[in-house]
Amino acid sequence: MWHFISDQISQQTQNDFICDDIRDMDAGDSHKAYRISDGRKRYFVKVNHADKLPHFEAEAEGLVHFDKTQLFRVPQVICCGVCEDNSFLVMEFITLSQGDDQAWADFGKQLANLHKNQTQQMYGWQDDNFIGLSPQPNRWHKKWPQFFAEQRIGFMLQLLAEKGHKLGDIDEVVSSVENLLSGHNPVASMLHGDLWRGNTGFNKNQAVMFDPAFYYGDRETDIAMTELFNKFPAAFYQGYEAAWPLSEHYQYRKSIYQLYHLLNHAVMFGGHYLQSAQATLKNLHN
Q: Which residues are catalytic?
A: 194
Q: Are residues 245 and 116 both part of a single domain?
A: yes
Confidence (pLDDT) at 3: 83
Task: State how far the Cα of 81 lies from the Cα of 153, in Å rounded to an integer.
Answer: 31
Q: Are residues 248 and 123 both part of a single domain?
A: yes
Q: Are residues 112 and 88 both part of a single domain?
A: no
Confidence (pLDDT) at 27: 66
Q: Are residues 175 and 149 both part of a single domain?
A: yes
Q: Are residues 117 and 81 both part of a single domain?
A: no
64, 78 contact by CB (below 8 A): no
What are the CA-CA distances from residue 263 to residues 144, 151, 171, 196, 197 (Å)? 19, 13, 16, 16, 19
Assign 48 to helix, strand or coil.
strand
Q: Are residues 20 and 47 both part of a single domain?
A: yes
Exposure string of 89-101, with b = 16+ CB inside 10 Å and e = fewer, is bbbebbeeeebee
CATH number assigned to the domain comprising residue 203 = 3.90.1200.10
How many domains does the chain fold into?
Answer: 2
Q: Are residues 108 and 84 both part of a single domain?
A: no
Q: Are residues 66 and 114 both part of a single domain?
A: no
pTM, full prediction: 0.92
Q: Are residues 144 and 252 both part of a single domain?
A: yes
Q: Are residues 39 and 64 both part of a single domain?
A: yes
Confidence (pLDDT) at 2: 82
92, 115, 143 — which closes off a domain? 92
92, 125, 141 — which closes off a domain? 92
Q: Are residues 116 and 165 both part of a single domain?
A: yes
> Residues in the chain with pLDDT < 50?
none
Q: Are residues 186 and 145 both part of a single domain?
A: yes
What are the CA-CA distances from residue 103 to residues 25, 31, 127, 149, 202 (Å)? 25, 29, 33, 35, 8
Q: Check the CA dihedral 81-86-87-88 and report its sign.
A: negative
69, 92, 115 — which closes off a domain? 92
Range of the domain at 26: 2-92
Nearest to residue 194, comparing CAs of 218, 215, 222, 217? 222
CATH number assigned to the domain comprising residue 81 = 3.30.200.20
Return left, alpha or beta for 119; rule: phi > 0 is left, psi -120 to 50 is alpha, else beta: alpha
